[in-house]
Amino acid sequence: MITFKKDHELVNMRRAGQIVAEVLMGLKDLVKPGVSTGELDEWVEKYIRDQGAIPSEKGYRVPGIPTPYPNSICASINNEVVHGIPQYERKLKLGDIISIDVMACYNGYHGDAAFSYPVGEISEDRLRLLAVTKNSLDIGIAQARSGNTVGDIGFAIEKYITGQGFGIVRDYTGHGLGRNPHEPPQVPNFGRPGRGVTLKPGMTIAIEPMVMAGREEVVTGSDGWVVLTADGSDAAHFEKTVLITKDGAEIFTPWK
Ligand code: MF3
Ligand code: CO
């Protein structure tokens, strides 16, 4: 069921979103060669709990995966698309790219966002992948207003990404959220104008383009969680939680 949030619910969602945005901006200084994804996870969990919130991903269960998610962030490096499990043995290297996806729950309401970081100086190709994926999120958010549909968001993202010569992840989508980390409607990063659920004020959705430099196919890794590009090409992921209002989208996770 699509839920329309009341003002007191929006207060909590704004706070959850703010915490997630602070985490993602704080990580800019921590992401560097030699740091492990386990250490990044540890920092994020403490930061979220220090704000009186709970890391939503820890213990989260997804249909079809037998094990609960073990950590407070998803940390996906290079050819990993999403759901990379943090590890102390996994250290970032100069030239890597890493996508970090964070959710926090404040007073029963969730915020969800992701950011893809360069690790030091990176190749021109990787720079372009990050820039294009980030732009595609803005292009999607520009369609997020009352009266438009989820198809308008997906179409705008898809048209831009494929026009840049990149591939879109079609097996995973954006989503509604609120009391639950994932609620209807699905918000695919592809679609047709005017199709799908119509957006109305009070709906809160996470828009999250996942983009591949190569072929549009993903595979799941042996831990049952990590999603990788099938051809080994690089991937990037940016995400924000937004509220649909009369005149557009209010950003709940204001990272820059
Ligand atoms: N935060 C992710 C999203 O954007 C969901 C991660 S599920 C987890 O929807 F279990 F891996 F954390
Ligand atoms: Co999400």
Evaluate whether residue 55 is within a structural domain.
yes
Evaluate whether residue 47 is within a structural domain.
yes
Instruction: Please give the C-alpha separations between residue 200 and each of 143, 227, 255, in angstroms, as whole numbers.
Output: 12, 32, 24
Evaluate whether residue 75 is within a structural domain.
yes
Percent of the chain clearing pLDDT 70 (strictly above) = 100
- β-partners of residue 119 are none
Q: Which domain holds residue 243?
A: 7-251
CATH code of the domain in which 240 resides: 3.90.230.10
Q: Which two tokens stand for residue 17?
A: 């979103």
Evaluate whether residue 2 is within a structural domain.
no
Closest CA to 157 of 208, 205, 233, 204: 208
pLDDT in tens, 72-119: 999 999 999 999 999 999 999 999 999 999 999 999 999 999 999 999
Pairwise CA distance, residues 185 & 208, whole Å:
13
Which ligand 1 atom minimizes the distance to the CA of 114? 4
In the reported structure, the alpha carbon of residue 51 is separated from the centroid of ligand 1 by a whole-number distance in angstroms of 20
Which ligand 1 atom minimizes the distance to the CA of 208? 4
In the reported structure, the alpha carbon of residue 58 is separated from the centroid of ligand 2 by a whole-number distance in angstroms of 14
CB neighbours (10 Å) of residue 130?
Answer: 21
Backbone angles phi, psi at 23, to 5 degrees: -60, -50
In the reported structure, the alpha carbon of residue 83 is separated from the centroid of ligand 1 by a whole-number distance in angstroms of 7
Half-sphere exposure of 76 (CA within 13 A, CB side): 31
- β-partners of residue 207 are 240
Evaluate whether residue 1 is within a structural domain.
no
DSSP tag of 120: S
User: pLDDT at position 102, please?
Assistant: 99
Best residue among 60, 169, 180, 225 to mutate for probing ligand 1, ranked by most atoms within 8 Å of CB: 60
Evaluate whether residue 56 is within a structural domain.
yes
Q: Whose CA is nearest to atom 11 of ligand 1?
A: 83
- Return mean pLDDT, the chain: 98
Domain total for the chain? 1
Q: Which residues line ligand 1 (CB under 6 A)?
A: 57, 60, 62, 69, 74, 83, 101, 103, 112, 206, 208, 239
